[in-house]
Amino acid sequence: MNDRRGLSAIALLTLVACSSSQSQNPYLPPTGAGGNGIVMPSGTVTVTLVSPSSPLDGGVAGPLATNSDVPVSATVDIAGGTDFIDPNSVKVALTATGSTVAVANGQLISTGSDLFTGTLSLGKLSAGSYTLTVTAASSGGAVGHATIGITVDDGPIVTVLSPAQGQSYNGTLTIELTADPGAYPPLTGPTVTVGGTAVTLTPDVAPNSYRATVAFGPPTPLPAGVQALPALAGVQLLDVKASNANGVTTDVQVTFNIDDTGPTIASTTPTPGQIVGGVLQISAKVTDVSGVLDSSVIAIIGDENTPLFELPLTANGGGIYSTLFDTGNLTACKAPPATSLCIVFPTISFRASDTVGNQTVIGYGFAVDNVAPVADLDPPEMRAMRLGIAGYECSLQFDPLSVNKESGDMPDDGCMVPQVFDLRARVEDDGNRAAGLKVVPISTVDPDNTSVYILDDTSQPLVVDSDGDGNCDEINPLLVPTTDPPTANNQVLKIRLAGVPPAGSGDYDFQSTNPAAAGDPPLPAGIGCIAGTAAAPPPVLCSFEQPTIAIGYSAGLPAIWSVEPIDSTFHCLGNQFDALANNINEGWACIAVATADLAGNKSVSAPMRVYIEYSDAGAWCATPPSSAGPPPTCTGTFDPASKTAAVGACQARNFADDPTIYCAPGAC
């Protein structure tokens, strides 16, 4: 910063004051006899400078302060006449010597006598000679003035090279400046303070150059030549003063920032503990008063196979930095029954530095879910468990989807069904697993991506293996999903499913001493529960016979998904499906569920084969007629390269065929 201003710059004044009558009209004496009796104004305007002035007429004036308001006062009077002074005419002006153009001017105000006072701002005047003039006029038009010569000395020239105005520094700071006495050597100073503490300057190699290195509260010992300052932080003031032979002082001030903390890292994604999967956006808001070094902003994720994924984040504006990361790059987590290791709780750390070298690092854990939900249209029967007086009790065994009694109840695979029948599935999200894991992190089933598909053209597969691993992984891409009744062979009916809120209770009525005699299998060994002690069966959920329990999982999530509407009166486990109304023809049909979780992991169920006979009103799950032929395969393969599908075998996950124990939330 270059500043030629002086707080107490000396203005050397050479007195050239004078006073005179400047009227251009000759004096007219009063009119005598025979006139009109009017006395004309007369007199001479006299102006005498009081301040600024010299001690002796023609001597050198005392010092004045440039870049400030200079007091000006003068006595103004009428000599030898009857005029009076016009108070609005008393003005002060400053012109460069030899020029008539004013560089500053002002108005003087009467103090109640012949003395007029005011101020004149010298402004940012360059060094040189100037003339100060006070003028006044009488009521008759006469003008008088007084002048004084001023020589301006604007003080030493001080330029601060370092620190730069508004810039940030960390740890140590090198102060560099130049100080030239100008036209009036020698130089006194310069002196420097930082945050109010004096700093010793050392002359540098270049003429009029000075240097010092300071440290802000550093540990000891200090390197040679480094001066210790108190621990400082935030905005600081560097103040440089230097004077010349006339005592004119130049004061230069620079504010700068001491930054000893790293950037602020906030609004990070994934958030701590968040369950993610698939392609993940990693982002953070990074800000710093000194500015963020963009190339330093990275995220690091640990893994078994690749110890560190170091991911540079790209600046998006507004302090946001981000990148995309495929969590599939982490140690692969294969769905059961595979037993390979999975990454469950990786740690992510965000790192960023500011432009002065301060770094911030934050780290925390999040959860990965790379395993798709399990969907099953024909799940195994199960028992519920509750804590009783004598210990944990087991309910009678039940089908979670149906009571398996009447025509129109939810069928099993291979059943004959009437025109209208229940249609629901057991769907539960699954997640990455590890030995010792107490709670499996799941992102939960996505209701917008869970639907049942019904195909009556069984010459083509409904679910296919598209990657050649033997697992069914999607609905046949050659089929066109439709929510309207299908009208072409390549169309497949798609109906959205919704979760049934968990409700009800299992049947703990074991009044018979031999539950197996009542049709219930004996309690399996090793499941840790005894027969129930309820005196009566539980109430039904609906106004007609349905399972007395709608199971849930993982702290109350719905495990039963059904055709809408779902309500507490007639459709407590969902609505029925009407094959005729949806143009699903009689004969064999393939039914499957496609689902996904909120992390984007997708799966399909094994297909359920049903034989539709519109007028069938027989027993539940009647055997199809011999003319029906064997059930269709409903599975196949799909070649993405040739975009062809073929009927064949593929396997889909389902719930184990072993007796399953259901523990209602809060019940055990």
- Please provide residue 327's backbone torsions phi and psi, each rounded to the nearest 5 degrees: -65, -10
Average pLDDT over residues 238-267: 92
Which is more confident, 26 or 80?
Answer: 80
pLDDT digits 0-9 by tens, 458-512: 999 999 999 999 999 999 999 999 999 999 999 999 999 999 999 999 888 765 5
Find tokens 């500011």 and name the residue: 354
Among 5-19, 291-305, 407-421, the least confident range: 5-19
544 pLDDT more than 90: no
What's the pTM value of the predicted model, to 2 decimals?
0.70
Q: Cα 59 vs. chain centroid, distance in angstroms?
A: 71
- CATH tag, 271-368: 2.60.40.1220
pLDDT digits 0-9 by tens, 583-597: 999 999 999 999 999
23 pLDDT more than 60: no
What pLDDT is attached to residue 664? 64
pLDDT digits 0-9 by tens, 326-353: 988 887 788 877 778 888 999 999 999 9
Q: Say how far apart CA 78 and CA 242 lie, in whole Å.
A: 47
Q: Say how far apart CA 104 and CA 622 lie, in whole Å.
A: 112
> Would you say 201 and 235 are in contact if contact means Cβ atoms under 8 Å apart?
no
Q: Do domains 2-23+42-152 and 271-368 have the same CATH topology?
A: yes
12 pLDDT more than 50: no
Paired tokens of 470 = 């033997």
Which is more confident, 56 or 212?
Answer: 212
Find tokens 């993405």 and name the residue: 640
7 pLDDT more than 50: no
438 pLDDT more than 70: yes
Sequence ranges of the domains in the chain: 2-23+42-152, 157-258, 271-368, 374-660
163 pLDDT more than 80: yes
The strands making up 463-465's β-sheet, listed across from edge to edge, are 474-475, 463-465, 635-639, 644-647
Evaluated on CA atoms 334, 338, 340, 346, the torsion sign reads: positive
- State which amino acid sits at residue 370: N
Paired tokens of 136 = 């006044």
What pLDDT is attached to residue 14? 32
What pLDDT is attached to residue 466? 96
> Would you say 257 and 173 are in contact if contact means Cβ atoms under 8 Å apart?
no
> Would you say 576 and 441 are in contact if contact means Cβ atoms under 8 Å apart?
no
What pLDDT is attached to residue 255? 96
| Residue 120, strand partner residues | 70
Closest by CA to 112, choosing from 85, 148, 92, 140, is 85
Using pLDDT thresholds of 50, 70 and 90, give the confidence band for residue 519.
low
Compute the residue count for the chain.
668
| Residues in Cβ contact with 588 at an 8 Å cutoff, skipping those fewer than 6 apart | 456, 458, 609, 610, 611, 612, 624, 628, 629, 631, 632
Paired tokens of 12 = 């050397």
Evaluated on CA atoms 597, 598, 601, 604, the torsion sign reads: positive
13 pLDDT more than 60: no
Average pLDDT over residues 638-650: 96
What pLDDT is attached to residue 394? 86
What pLDDT is attached to residue 659? 59
Q: What is the distance between the terminal CA atoms of the chain, rounded to a whole angstrom?
A: 76
CATH 2.60.40.10 fits 157-258, yes or no: yes
Which is more confident, 570 or 115?
Answer: 115
Among 28-37, 44-53, 156-165, 272-281, the least confident range: 28-37
What pLDDT is attached to residue 200? 95
Evaluated on CA atoms 84, 87, 89, 95, the torsion sign reads: positive
Q: Say how far apart CA 571 and CA 66 lie, in whole Å.
A: 93
What pLDDT is attached to residue 661? 76
Average pLDDT over residues 310-317: 96
Q: Cα 26 vs. chain centroid, distance in angstroms?
A: 84
- CATH tag, 2-23+42-152: 2.60.40.10
Which is more confident, 5 or 626?
Answer: 626
Using pLDDT thresholds of 50, 70 and 90, give the confidence band for residue 668.
low
- Could you count the other beta carbons within 10 Å of the beta carbon of residue 302? 16
**Mean pLDDT, all residues of the chain:** 86
Using pLDDT thresholds of 50, 70 and 90, give the confidence band for residue 666.
low
What pLDDT is attached to residue 52? 82
Find tokens 């009796």 and name the residue: 37
Q: What single DSSP character describes residue 27? A: P
- State which amino acid sits at residue 554: S
